[in-house]
C-alpha cells in the first residue's frame, strides 16, 4: 500500500517548487490565501450542493476553467476541509500535465475526494501539491510553537496553517526528520496508512481492508468498551509490527496516540519512537 503511494523524488521537487512559488505570492503569515489565487487566475469558483458525489472538481468548458466545491461533504471556503479541496483543484490547474490534459480532452473531469488514501497517480500528485501549497516546507520546518512531537503539535499546525488535522498529519509525516507513521482506520478496519523514509519498513500485523491489531490503542477502541484514549500511550513495536530482530529499534518503546474524528467516523493513529 505505501509503495503504491510513492511519487518520484524529482517529481516531488518540481511540484513543491511550483506550489512554494504560488504560496509565496499569496499568503498571510502561515495561511495561503486561496481565494486571491482564484481571482488572480480568473478561475470560476462555485461552492454549492452536490450531494455525496465529490469534494471538488475542476472542469474545462467554453475555454474557461471552473472549480466546483461541494458543501454537502463539509466543504466551504472557510473550513479546513474546504480549503484542502480547493487547493487540490488548484493543483490540477497548476500542474501542466493535468491542466493541458483537461484542455485537450485527454483527461476527463473527475470527482476528487479529500479523505486521503488516493492511489491514482493524478490524484496523488494533486494531494501532494495541495499539501505543499497550504504548508510550504520552510514555514513548516521552522514551526516551533510546540517543539516536542505529539498530537498537540499536529493540532497546532492545523490551526496555524488553517488545514485539516489529516492534511497536517500527512504533510508533517512527509517533511519531519523523525521516524513517523500513521494509520487511518474506520469501524476497526484499516483504510490506509503511510510512513516516512525514516520509519523502519517492518512487516505489519495488519492488512489494508483488514482488522486492526487488537492490542493497539486504536484496536482496543473498536473492540472494548470505554477504551477511547486520547493521550500518548506507550506500546511495544510488536503490537503493530513484526520487527526485525537485528534492528535496534525493535527493543525501543513506541508511542501511539489517536485522534478520533466523530464527524467523519475515522481514527488516525500516530506511531513514533520514544
Check the CA dihedral 123-171-212-250 and report its sign.
Answer: positive
Return d(Cα 255, Cα 234) in angstroms, integer: 5
pLDDT at 5: 64
Total number of residues shown for the chain: 274
pLDDT at 144: 82
Greatest pairwise CA separation for the chain in angstroms: 62
pLDDT at 256: 98
Check the CA dihedral 205-207-212-218 and report its sign.
Answer: positive
Whether residue 175 contacts residue 261, with contact meaning beta carbons closer than 8 Å, is answered with no
Mean pLDDT within 118-132? 94
Strand partners, 184: 192, 268
Radius of gyration of the chain (CA): 19
Q: Where are the domains of the chain?
A: 3-139, 177-273
CA distances, 78 to each of 53, 119, 120, 183 (Å): 21, 27, 27, 27
pLDDT at 3: 42
pLDDT digits (tens, 9 = 90+) for 77-115: 999 999 999 999 999 999 999 999 999 999 999 899 988
CA 139 from centroid of its chain's CA atoms? 17
Whether residue 256 contacts residue 216, with contact meaning beta carbons closer than 8 Å, is answered with yes
Q: What is the pTM of this model?
A: 0.93
pLDDT at 274: 85
Q: What is the mean pLDDT of the chain?
A: 94
Amino acid at each position: 500500500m505505501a509503495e503504491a503511494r510513492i511519487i518520484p523524488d524529482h517529481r516531488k521537487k518540481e511540484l513543491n517548487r511550483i506550489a512554494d512559488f504560488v504560496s509565496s505570492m499569496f499568503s498571510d503569515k502561515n495561511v495561503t490565501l486561496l481565494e486571491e489565487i482564484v481571482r488572480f487566475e480568473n478561475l470560476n469558483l462555485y461552492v454549492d450542493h452536490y450531494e455525496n458525489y465529490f469534494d471538488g472538481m475542476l472542469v474545462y468548458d467554453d475555454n474557461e476553467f471552473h472549480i466546483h466545491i461541494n458543501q454537502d461533504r463539509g466543504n466551504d471556503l472557510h473550513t479546513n476541509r474546504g480549503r484542502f479541496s480547493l487547493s487540490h483543484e488548484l493543483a490540477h490547474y497548476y500542474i501542466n500535465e493535468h491542466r493541458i490534459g483537461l484542455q485537450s480532452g485527454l483527461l476527463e473531469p473527475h470527482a476528487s475526494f479529500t479523505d486521503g488514501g488516493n492511489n491514482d497517480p493524478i490524484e496523488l500528485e494533486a494531494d501532494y501539491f495541495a499539501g505543499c501549497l497550504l504548508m510550504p516546507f520552510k514555514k513548516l520546518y521552522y514551526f516551533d510553537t510546540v517543539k516536542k512531537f505529539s498530537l498537540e503539535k499536529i493540532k497546532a499546525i492545523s490551526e496555524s496553517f488553517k488545514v485539516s488535522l489529516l492534511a497536517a498529519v500527512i504533510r508533517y509525516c512527509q517533511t519531519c526528520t523523525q521516524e513517523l507513521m500513521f494509520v487511518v482506520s474506520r469501524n476497526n478496519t484499516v483504510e490506509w496508512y503511510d510512513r516516512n523514509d525514516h520509519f523502519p519498513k517492518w512487516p505489519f500485523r495488519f492488512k489494508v481492508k483488514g482488522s486492526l491489531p487488537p492490542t493497539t490503542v486504536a484496536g482496543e477502541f473498536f473492540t472494548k468498551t470505554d477504551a477511547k484514549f486520547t493521550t500518548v500511550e506507550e506500546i511495544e513495536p510488536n503490537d503493530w509490527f513484526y520487527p526485525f530482530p537485528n534492528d535496534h529499534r525493535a527493543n525501543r518503546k513506541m508511542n501511539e496516540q489517536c485522534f478520533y474524528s466523530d464527524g467523519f467516523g475515522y481514527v488516525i493513529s500516530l506511531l513514533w519512537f520514544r
